[in-house]
Structure 1
Amino acid sequence: MKAQPAAQRRLLDLAKVDAELHRVAHRRRTMPELAEIAELERAVRARQDAVIAVETTHSDLDRDARRLETEIEQVRAREDRDRRLLDGGAVGAKQVVDLQHELETLARRRGVLEDELLEVMERREAVEQDVAHRREELAAVEEKLGDARGRRDEALADLDVIDARRAVERKGLVAALPDELVSLYERIRTHKGTGAALLRSRRCGACQLELDRTVLGELRTAASDEVVRCSECGVILVRTGESGL
């Protein structure tokens, strides 16, 4: 393939732009904020589960407390009724004995329920503190996650600017080059990652290998408009005064 030396040299500009675009794409995939965000998102889910667990426990204790309070009120109402019957004096001796026995039973039952309620209230108070602690932990991790996402978005915005500028630059470079030369460059770049490189001091700028004498001799005698390739990695070699031929 033939191409003017000036066009071949412009391939180096295109390769430089493509290398930066590749770095930008790599940066998008590997920016440390992504791993940080993923880790923090897992931490948030774990903290959310912890909050739900303690809130559920607190809700269960609330329900138990309400149930016990209802039972205690029912026992007290029964006690009040029995006392009114005794105080009224309208019951017989046997019923008096039965009422007194029932009052003793109710008092014991109320004492048991009140002890249970006190235990539940103490546990609920401890769980309330745990709920507050778990919510604080969740809020702290969510704040870190928000900060990491902000830094990621700022970094992506910067990369978008670079990407857009280089895309415009690349379009201009491609438009100024022969189609056949661009097609060859693109095929090589697709397979090798790099389409063209400078031959500097007898060394390929892509694979960094020094070419042997036979290859250098062939390059030395090749016409300046001949498109030549590295015998080692296959990229287009651009010859300049730095090539050492």
Structure 2
Amino acid sequence: MKADPAVQRRLLDLAQVDTELARVTHRRRTLPELAEIAEAEKVLRAKQDALTLVETNLGDLEREVKRQETEIDQVRAREERDRGLLQGGTVGAKQLTDLEHELATLGRRRGALEDDLLELMERREAVEADVQHARVELDKAQEALADAARRRDSALADLETTEARRTAERRTMLGQFPEPLLALYDRVRAHKGTGAALLQSRRCGACRIELDRSALAHVKESPADEVVQCEECGAIMVRTAESGL
């Protein structure tokens, strides 16, 4: 294939643009913020689970406290009723003895219930502190996720700007190349990643492999307008004074 040497040299500019576009694509997939977001989402789920757990524990304790308070109120009501009967003076001696015995039993029962209630309330207070701590931790996790997402969006916006600018430059460049040369360049780039590179110091700029004697002899013998390709990677090797021929 033939192409004006000046046109071939302009392939280096196109290759530079394509390299930056490829870099943008790669960076978009490998932004460190993406890994941060994945980790932040994992942490957030853990904090949400932790909050759910302590809130469930608190709900269970609050129900237990209410049940205990209700039972204490029932015992107190029974005590008041029995005291009323005692103070009314309308019961017989045997019933009086039974009421006194029942009041003593109720007093012991109420004392035990009140001790249990005190323990429950202390546990509830501790779990309430756990809930507050879990909510603070959840807020921190949500902010960390939001921060990583903001930085990701900013980085993506920068990449989109670069991509748009380079894509426009590439579109302008395409008219400088004959269709066969451009087709070869695009075909090689699609398969190898680099369509054209500078032949510098007898080394292919795409694969960085130094040409052996036979390949170098072939390049030397090729006319300046002959399009030569690297035997290793297939990239179009653009010859300049730096090629070392």
For normalisation by structure 2, the TM-score amounts to 0.95
The letter for the 1-side match of 2:78 is R
What is the CA distance between 1:53 and its match in structure 2? 0.9
Give the alignment's Cα RMSD to 1 decimal.
1.4
What is the CA distance between 1:91 and its match in structure 2? 1.8
Paired with 2:100 and 2:175, the residues of 1 have a C-alpha distance of 107
Residue matched to 1:165 = 165
In the TM superposition, what whole-angstrom CA distance separates every residue of 1:103-158 from its partner, at most 9, and x where no partner exists? 11211111111111000001111111111122222222222222222211111111
Paired with 1:106 and 1:56, the residues of 2 have a C-alpha distance of 33
* Deviates further, 68-77 or 210-219: 210-219
Q: Percent of aligned positions with the same letter in both sequences?
A: 64
What is the CA distance between 1:10 and its match in structure 2? 1.9
Is 2:137 the counterpart of 1:137? yes
Is 2:90 the counterpart of 1:90? yes
Residue matched to 2:186 = 186
Residue matched to 1:243 = 243
In the TM superposition, what whole-angstrom CA distance separates every residue of 1:8-53 from its partner, at most 9, and x where no partner exists? 2221111111111111111112222221221121111111111111
Paired with 1:213 and 1:126, the residues of 2 have a C-alpha distance of 82
Which stretches in structure 2 are left out of the alignment for 5+ residues? none
The letter for the 1-side match of 2:160 is D
Residue matched to 2:102 = 102
Matches within 5 A, 1:195-206: 195-206=195-206
Residue matched to 1:81 = 81
Query: How many pairs are equivalent?
Result: 245
Paired with 1:108 and 1:175, the residues of 2 have a C-alpha distance of 100
Which stretches in structure 1 are left out of the alignment for 5+ residues? none
Residue matched to 1:58 = 58
Matches within 5 A, 1:10-89: 10-89=10-89
What is the CA distance between 1:175 and its match in structure 2? 3.1
Matches within 5 A, 1:147-166: 147-166=147-166
Paired with 1:189 and 1:53, the residues of 2 have a C-alpha distance of 55
Paired with 1:204 and 1:221, the residues of 2 have a C-alpha distance of 17
Paired with 2:79 and 2:182, the residues of 1 have a C-alpha distance of 99
Residue matched to 1:112 = 112
Is 2:219 the counterpart of 1:219? yes
The letter for the 2-side match of 1:230 is C
What is the CA distance between 1:236 and its match in structure 2? 0.8
SS at 2:197 equivalent = strand
Paired with 1:79 and 1:182, the residues of 2 have a C-alpha distance of 101
What is the CA distance between 1:80 and its match in structure 2? 0.9
The letter for the 1-side match of 2:99 is L
What is the CA distance between 1:86 and its match in structure 2? 1.5
Paired with 1:213 and 1:46, the residues of 2 have a C-alpha distance of 63
